[in-house]
Amino acid sequence: MEEFGPIGEYLPLIILIIIAGAVAFLLTGASRVLGPLRPNKIKESAYESGMDPVGTAHERFSIKFYLVAMLFILFDIEIVFMYPWAVQYKELEAAYGSFPLVEMLVFVAILFVGYIYILKKGGLDWD
Amino acid sequence: MFNQDLIHIIPILFLIATGLLLMMLDAFKVRSVLPLIAGIGFVGTAVLALPLQEGMDVQQLAFNKMIFTGGLASLVTILLSVSGLFTLFFLSDFLKRQEKPIYDIYALLVFAVVGMILLANANDLIVTFIGLETMSICLYIMAALFKRDLKSNEAGLKYFLLGAFATGFFIYGIALIYGGAGSTNYSSMDFARLQESGLLLPGMGLILIGFLFKVSAFPFHAWTPDVYSGSPTPLAGFMATGSKAAAFIAFGIFLNKTLPDVVVNEKIYNVIGVIALLTMIYGNVVAVQQKSLKRMLAYSSIAHSGYVLLALCAGPEGLMAAVFYMFIYTLMNIGAFGMIGMAELKDQDADLDGWKGLGMRNPWFGAAMSIFLFSLAGIPPLAGFMSKYFVFISAIHAKYTLLAILGIITSVAGAFYYIRVIVSMFFQTTEKPVEVKTSNIYPTIGVGILAALLLLFGLYPAAFTSQLDHLFVLADYFTQATP
């Protein structure tokens, strides 16, 4: 990429941004042109089936939102740990045999214990 | 290579497995066995940490030099398991009498001890941090355990907010040290570069604040009385002993690992020495004015932090004295907090007034409490005297004679408020006396064992200290660990 000057290294990135932008415009445009348009008040709101974003911020809402959000973040972050493992898996297997696989299974098992715990404790019940 | 590492940390793995099992048993409502399983977990961890295998009695490094195992690390693992185990003796009875059926606490207790073991055995600042957080988060929940109780809520919130703030200081200090030394691992830090970079003092200072908060040293002590008096009483004893022991040992390792290689160590030791003195004076003076027994013991735990900080100024010898001190302190303070819990009624604060005449009505209770209080005051022939002796002698060997003498004076002044409780128990009467009504036999067994151990270590310290010397000599923390 050196022939493109100092910007050259970023060329693939720029192409990616252009393609991603084009795809996004294409898809939203296509659904607007091709799809049936039957708007109603709820569909028009900023967060469909969420909370009304306009109005006073001092409104009371259920503390259960926090619990669900917290549990979601917890498991979401835990799953992130699997990405580097999956990317490196071939090299790990070559170096240590089946040990990395067992290691990840143990990790998932511990997560599963946590999942059963919140399920049984009623952490996922809304009422 | 991996398998060897895993063998090294079997005690920790065993304790984690126990914690997971406790969570599952609680979730599936098999609740009557929970204290027993947790007890087996602590005893098993202590036994697995004993240097039974060949080569386990030497301090080693595992997991890319991230954690210590064997030698002193084993001893520390045993110390922390013991602190969890004795808390357990008082816990189930206390929860039953307070009519708070809470069963998650057993898993929490186990995970808190896991965090403490990691914290105290870390050879890497990141592992120190992970251990500190694992421990602290469990402790925050413990402080707020009674969620309908305002005082418990207050304790949890105060502890959490201030603790999170102190953690911020700590992690920023780690970042600065990492920036200067190029590593977070004590074995591969480049101290010459750290010194040149000018990040040494800021980084050190911030990490110091983090540690001093955790051990409730003088300018960072304000949370201690509120948190201890709001927390469930046996758990307050656990916070005052286990978490402080782990933080002190990590602190000592940090000082001994980083300071010998840098030039400014004299300055930093002087700062810690002055903080130690202020902590001793503050804790002992304010404890005298307390009416509530739990608040009194909270201030007394601040004073005890001062003694251990003084020991930490004295280098490697001081670290040994600090470990011994924390071991004895764990035994006597869990006992004292546990006994306050035994005499505590539902929704009532443990008040010195109610305790008047308790020793006459219940002589065995009075005798055992007197043993704990005399030991906390450091009166021979109890173990508390031996531990204070080692602390002050190590300070004198390190040429901190003036601080040691002032420390001894504050310790004598501090004996006043311990003895006042004993006087109240045996020589005074009151209209509204408290009664000791335990719902099962375990607290009595726990008190018996703890009091017997304190007498034993006080009367025949050689039986224990020779073993300790043996372990410490083999451990040889500061030469063996750096290959």
**Residue-wise pLDDT tens digits, B254-274:** 888 877 666 667 788 888 999
Mean pLDDT for chain B?
Answer: 86
Work out the minimum CA distance from A118 to partner chain B, whole angstroms: 8
How far B26 CA sits from the closest chain A CA (Å)? 8
Residue of B2, B20, B27 lying closest to A120 (CB–CB): B27
Higher-confidence position of B200 and B473: B200
Angstroms from A47 CA to nearest CA on chain B: 33
Task: For residue B28, give how far its alpha carbon lies from the nearest alpha carbon of chain A (Å).
Answer: 7
Residues B168-208: tens digit of each pLDDT: 999 999 999 999 888 888 888 888 888 888 888 899 899 99
**Tokens standing for residue A78:** 């835990």
Could you write out the DSSP letters of every residue in B234-282? HHHHHIIIIIHHHHHHHHHHHHHHHGGGSTTHHHHHHHHHHHHHHHHHH
Q: What residues in B contact A96, CB-CB < 8 Å?
A: 2
Concatenated DSSP letters for B395-414? Answer: HHHTT-HHHHHHHHHHHHHH
Is the CB of residue B61 less than 8 Å from the CB of residue B75? no
Q: Which tens digits make up the pLDDT trace of B283-299? A: 999 998 888 888 999 99
- Residue B307's domain comprises 2-480
Contacts of B28 in chain A (CB under 8 A): 120
Cis bond leading into B381, ω under 30°?
Answer: yes
The pLDDT value recorded for residue B57 is 65
Contact status, residue B238 vs residue B87, Cβ threshold 8 Å: yes
Q: Tell me if B23 and A117 make a contact (CB, 8 A cut-off).
A: yes
Least CB-CB distance to B27: which of A99, A110, A121? A121
pLDDT above 50 (res B479): no
Residues of B near A (Cβ–Cβ under 8 Å) read 2, 20, 23-24, 26-28
What is the rounded CA–CA span in Å between residue B224 and residue B243?
Answer: 13
Three-class DSSP category at B436: coil
Q: Which carries the bigger pLDDT value, residue B348 or residue B211?
A: B211
DSSP symbol at B188? G
Q: Is B298 helix (H, G, I), strand (E, B) or coil?
A: helix
- Higher pLDDT, residue B324 or A8: B324
Residue B382 gets the label, from left (phi > 0), alpha (psi -120 to 50) or beta, of: beta
3-state helix, strand, coil in chain B (%, to 5): 75, 0, 20
Beta-carbon-side half-sphere exposure of residue B95 (alpha carbons within 13 Å)? 17
Q: Are B50 and B71 in contact (CB under 8 A)?
A: no
Residue B67's SS3 state is strand
- Closest residue in B to A117 (Cα) is B27
Give the integer Cα–Cα distance in Å for B189 and B181: 5
Chain A contact set for B23 (CB, 8 A): 113-114, 117
Tell me the two tokens of residue A91: 């090299």
Confidence of residue B61 (pLDDT cuts 50, 70, 90): confident
pLDDT tens sequence across B389-436:
888 888 888 888 899 999 999 998 889 999 999 998 888 887 777 777
Running DSSP on this structure, what letter comes out for residue B345? P
How big is chain A, counted in residues?
A: 127
* Beta carbons of B47 and B11 less than 8 angstroms apart: no
pTM: 0.87
With an 8 Å Cβ cutoff, are B24 and A117 in contact? yes
- The pLDDT score that the predictor gives to residue B471 is 61
CB contact under 8 A, B27 and A114: no
Domain boundaries, chain A: 57-127
Lowest-confidence range among B50-64, B224-238, B271-285, B359-373? B50-64
Please say whether the beta carbons of B216 and B226 come within 8 A.
no
* Residues A7-41 pLDDT 10s: 778 888 999 999 999 999 999 999 888 888 888 87
Angle, nearest 10°, between helix axes B363-377 and B401-427?
170
User: In this complex, do A117 and B27 lie within 8 Å of one another by their Cβ atoms?
Assistant: yes
Contact B41, B15 (CB under 8 A): yes
Signed CA dihedral, B284, B285, B286, B289: sign only: positive
Q: Which residues of A touch B27 (CB under 8 A)?
A: 116-117, 119-121
Q: In the prediction, which pLDDT does B263 show?
A: 66
Count CB-CB contacts under 10 A for residue A105. Answer: 11
Is B251's pLDDT higher than 60? yes
CB B195 within 8 A of CB B121: no
**Nearest by CB to B2, which of A96, A113, A120?**
A96
Are A114 and B23 inside 8 Å of each other by CB? Answer: yes
Total residues belonging to chain B: 483
Lowest mean pLDDT among A84-88, B70-74, B134-138, B303-307: B70-74
Average pLDDT of the segment spanning A115-124: 88
Domain count, chain B: 1
Q: Which of A81, A92, A113 to mutate to test the interface with B (most CBs of B within 10 A)?
A: A113
- Bridge partners, B292 (sequence order): B351
- Of residues B63 and B326, more confidently modeled: B326
pLDDT tens by residue, B128-160? 999 999 999 999 999 999 888 888 999 999 999
Share of chain B above pLDDT 90, in %: 43
pLDDT, position B468 = 66
Distance from CA of A68 to the nearest CA of B (A): 19
Look at B7 and A15; give whichever has higher pLDDT.
A15
Check pLDDT > 80 for residue B379: yes
Write out the two tokens for B262: 């840098």
Residue (of B154, B265, B152, B137) closest to B201 by Cα position: B265
> Cα(B440)–Cα(B342) distance, rounded to whole angstroms?
11
Assigned token pair, A84: 């580097």
